[in-house]
Amino acid sequence: MKRTFALFALFFFSSAVSSLAEQPIRNVLFLIADDLKASVLGCYGDEICKTPNIDALAAGAMVFERSYCQGLACHPSRQSFMHSRYQGNRGPTLGQLLISEGFYSARVGKIFHMRVPGDIIDGTNGNDIPETWTERFNCTGQEAHTPGLYRLLNKNIETRAPENRQSTRMPFRMFASVESDGDGSEQPDWKAAEKTVELLKKHGKSEKPFFIATGFVRPHYPSVAPASYFDDYPYEEMPIPEVPEGDLDDVPKLGKTGTTSQGVGIAQYPDNIRKMWADYYATVTFMDEQLGKVLAELDRQGLRDSTLVIFTSDHGYHLGEHHLWQKMNFKEEVTRVPLLVSAPGFESGRTMALTELMDLYPTICDLVGVSTPETVQGKSLRAVLADPAASVREAAFSVSAGKGHFVRTADWAYMRYRDDTEELYDMKLDPGQFTNLASDPKRAQEKEKLFEILQRKKATAVK
């Protein structure tokens, strides 16, 4: 009798564990930062920037070490991952598809492209596609006009005066920062977190599953956060990138962005390059704190075991590496993005599998049990979530309509521009991408293989 009871108990316990492991993923929480480079996060190895909430999410997620964006700026990248297309906007957006499958779909903040600071100041929708959402919420802020200590670092200006601040469509707006006098509640990312918390409370227990996409605008310029966040990063202690003499001499013209240290004048103020790093870090930490509020509410509502949580960025960013600033080139600082996927039923870990932001759409479909449209060009990452040693693609691919194309394999980075000029980097021996090997005859075989991959990707991109 005791043996029979023990066997029954074992069967019941095993069935319960099996049932828990097979519990379907019901909801999706998609969190995206703006202009966030992977390398500044603690979970990607940075020892200076304080990102405790992102790092905690990473500890329970699959951390993708080699995830790449398909567009080099906000609009093409966001259009790409929301349609899962290398270029263009064929097919339903992710939100449109999920709505048709019975989901509640909400946008909070910036998901499709919004001008920062323009649309944030005005509270306008930017390039949003309204059919993607059941509801949508814009999160406003004063941006560079926020009361506080204003800096324009390429011009070595520091003032509290409200006049003459670089803002919408002004040429040096990317070098502006403000140590805000406020407590943070006036900032768009604070408002985005508060609204998301409200939606989780309202829709977390609803009969409808939810797809909530929350877009934080930091660390996109201007670097605005409450003054206390800047105190954590004294500029004197900020290391800045080492740039070898003549670093860009072997880079084709189309491989050089228009924003260089020398061109904008910040090269003459080395301390201000340190301040750019300090200010960027400060806004990353502020954004991290807002993200933490959202994750805490997810836990309070008991939704973690039924909700797929994804955190990423639209692309990376240059902060003086190679004397370059901003984005719009194929260097690793721009194309590589953070990607954390916390999926109930899957173990945490780290993977070197090459992935594209386009893969998020079909991954979400796969995990929530929705058929993927034929227009989707990405690939589900389920296999990698199940086994971090698995792979779904031989290379990642990025597109710039005005410049050319980029291929990243495990060992190589290859850029081919519209004028047939090239860059080639051995990412094992030269991860900083300082020596262009495109003209090295010893690398002709590797370059030919990469060119063939690039051609195949180009053909796929135009389908």
Reported as a pLDDT band with limits 50, 70 and 90, residue 4 is very low
Q: How far apart are CA 106 and CA 28, in angstroms?
A: 11
Give the residue from 363, 372, 413 showing the smallest Cα distance to 392. 363
Q: Does residue 455 surpass a pLDDT of 90?
A: yes
Amino acid at 279: D
Q: Does residue 462 surpass a pLDDT of 90?
A: no
Give the residue from 362, 316, 328 showing the smallest Cα distance to 69. 316
Q: Mind giving me the DSSP string for 300-344?
A: HTT-GGGEEEEEEES---EESGGGBEES-S-SHHHHEE-EEEE-T
Domain residue spans of the chain: 29-379
H or E, element range at 193: helix 188-203
Helix, strand or coil, per DSSP, at residue 296: helix
Q: What pLDDT does 257 receive?
A: 77
Between strands 422-426 and 412-417, the pairing is: antiparallel
Reported as a pLDDT band with limits 50, 70 and 90, residue 1 is very low
pLDDT tens across 308-332, in order? 999 999 999 999 999 999 999 999 9
pLDDT tens across 86-139, in order? 999 999 999 999 999 999 999 999 999 999 999 999 999 999 999 999 999 999
Q: Give the torsion through C-alpha atoms of 313, 40, 327, 129, to 10 deg.
A: 10
Q: How far apart are CA 163 and CA 321, in angstroms?
A: 31
Q: Does residue 2 surpass a pLDDT of 80?
A: no
Q: How far apart are CA 123 and CA 340, in angstroms?
A: 29
- 29-379 is a CATH 3.40.30.10 domain: no
Q: Model-level pTM?
A: 0.94
Q: Does residue 57 surpass a pLDDT of 50?
A: yes
Residue 284 φ/ψ, nearest 5 degrees: -65, -45
| Mean pLDDT estimate for the chain | 94
Q: What pLDDT does 463 receive?
A: 84
Between strands 27-33 and 176-180, the pairing is: unpaired
Q: What pLDDT does 41 receive?
A: 98
pLDDT tens across 227-286, in order? 999 999 999 999 999 999 999 999 999 999 779 999 999 999 999 999 999 999 999 999
Amino acid at 340: L
Q: What pLDDT does 11 receive?
A: 36
Q: How far apart are CA 173 and CA 171, in angstroms?
A: 6
Residue with tokens 């201000």: 272
What's the mean pLDDT in 212-237?
98
